[in-house]
Homo-oligomer: A and B are copies of this chain.
Amino acid sequence: MGYTAAPLEKLIEQFSQFPGIGRKGATRMAYQVLSMSDADAAALAEAIQNAHTRLHRCRVCQNYTEAELCPICSSAKRDRSTICVVETPRDVQAFERTREYHGLYHVLHGLISPMDGIGAEQLSVKELLARLGSGEVKEVIMAMNPTVEGEATAMYLAKLIKPLGIKTTRLAYGLPVGGSLEYTDETTLYRALSGRDEL
């Protein structure tokens, strides 16, 4: 019909590539950009460029950081004997919000998924193993999502790490706090039952 101008169509396509944003949401976002002031649109474009050029992966844990080492890896207050292995940088943020974990992290940037053609070599597995050689690390916690890919990745890593004589654990399964037993799926309920703790 030719009623969507080319630069607008291009912007809609760009926004559509984000997870959870469909054609409709992308269209709303694009029109929002058009209604911005010149300065605001420039600030948005600059924030994208800036984040991309100024942030890179921490040499140790592979989380995004401005410095060579991220604030967590370079902190003297963190317990260096424990590494919590997660899928994404967002998972690091989730753990930090609990304020209860004081060890280090390792970000895999994905999970092993043969269906999607993602193997261990595309993840930061090599970098994780390199951290375990010094004898400083006593425990590696597998903190992937409780999905098929998460399980498979945890199993794969455990098989590599256990022979090094390092304790390998994983997050407990069970009822979510505040959740309702009635609406809990059978698998979770079974896990909660078999992992029951003494009071």
> Which positions in A face B, CB cutoff 8 Å?
1-8, 10-11, 13-14, 17-21, 25, 27-36, 38, 41-55, 64-66, 70-72, 88-90, 92-93, 96, 109
Contact A31 B90 (CB under 8 A): yes
| Max chain B C-beta neighbours (<10 A), residue from A5, A29, A34, A54 | A5
Residue numbers in B under 8 Å from A32 (CB-CB): 17-19
Residue numbers in B under 8 Å from A7 (CB-CB): 47, 50-51, 54-55, 66
A118, chain B: closest CB distance, angstroms: 13
Assuming the contacts A1-B96, A64-B34, asked whether A19 and B11 have C-beta atoms less than 8 A apart, the reply is no
Q: Could you pull out 11 A-B pairs where Cβ atoms are within 8 angstroms?
A: A1-B96, A4-B93, A8-B51, A11-B47, A17-B32, A21-B25, A34-B51, A34-B55, A38-B53, A42-B52, A45-B48
Measured in the bound complex, the distance between the Cα atoms of B51 and A17 in whole Å is: 17
Contact A49 B42 (CB under 8 A): yes
Contact B5 A65 (CB under 8 A): yes
Contact A30 B14 (CB under 8 A): no
How many copies are assembled?
Answer: 2
The 5 A-B residue pairs with the shortest CB-CB distance in the complex, in nearest-first order:
A41-B52, A45-B45, A11-B51, A7-B51, A14-B47
Which single member of B2, B35, B45 contacts A49 (CB below 8 Å)? B45
Measured in the bound complex, the distance between the Cα atoms of B93 and A17 in whole Å is: 21
Measured in the bound complex, the distance between the Cα atoms of B41 and A30 in whole Å is: 16
Residue numbers in B under 8 Å from A55 (CB-CB): 5, 7-8, 34
In the complex, besides A7-B50, A8-B64, 8 extra interface pairs with C-beta distance below 8 angstroms are A5-B66, A7-B47, A10-B51, A11-B50, A27-B90, A33-B52, A41-B49, A48-B48
Which single member of B11, B29, B48 contacts A18 (CB below 8 Å)? B29
Which single member of B6, B14, B44, B93 contacts A14 (CB below 8 Å)? B44
